[in-house]
Amino acid sequence: MKQYVIDELRATDYENLKAYLKEKFGSSGVGDIFWIPLDEKILTSVQAEHAECQPFYFALDLEQNLLACELLVRTKSNVRCNCIAYATQHQRNWLISKVDSIFTHLNIIT
């Protein structure tokens, strides 16, 4: 699995990040996994055509010492579909920027 990983989180970073992600994006119901919705403006043409699969998400897995952001664009409505794919460069950069802005907002230095 391709991922963007930020490791060496401190305990306070973990707690602050968990509280923020829960408040902003809600719980996925599976451990400390959160779903960040992908901006509709940067969908691929296939993703844009699949209205029944929208919205699309990135999954973030928060652990005590790290945050792993999967670079797979997913949907909650289907497990297998050709619109589920690894992020394009633009989508990947969007996710990294989004996560980095969360860290900046929370004053977490990586």
pLDDT band at 70 (very low <50, low <70, confident <90, very high): very high
Helix (H, G, I), strand (E, B) or coil at 78: coil
- Per domain, the residue ranges of the chain are 3-105
Residue 10 CA to residue 110 CA, distance in Å, equals 10
The half-sphere exposure of 38 on its side-chain side, counting CA atoms within 13 A, is 32
Q: Considering the entire predicted model, what is its pTM?
A: 0.90
pLDDT in tens, 9-29: 999 999 999 999 999 997 777
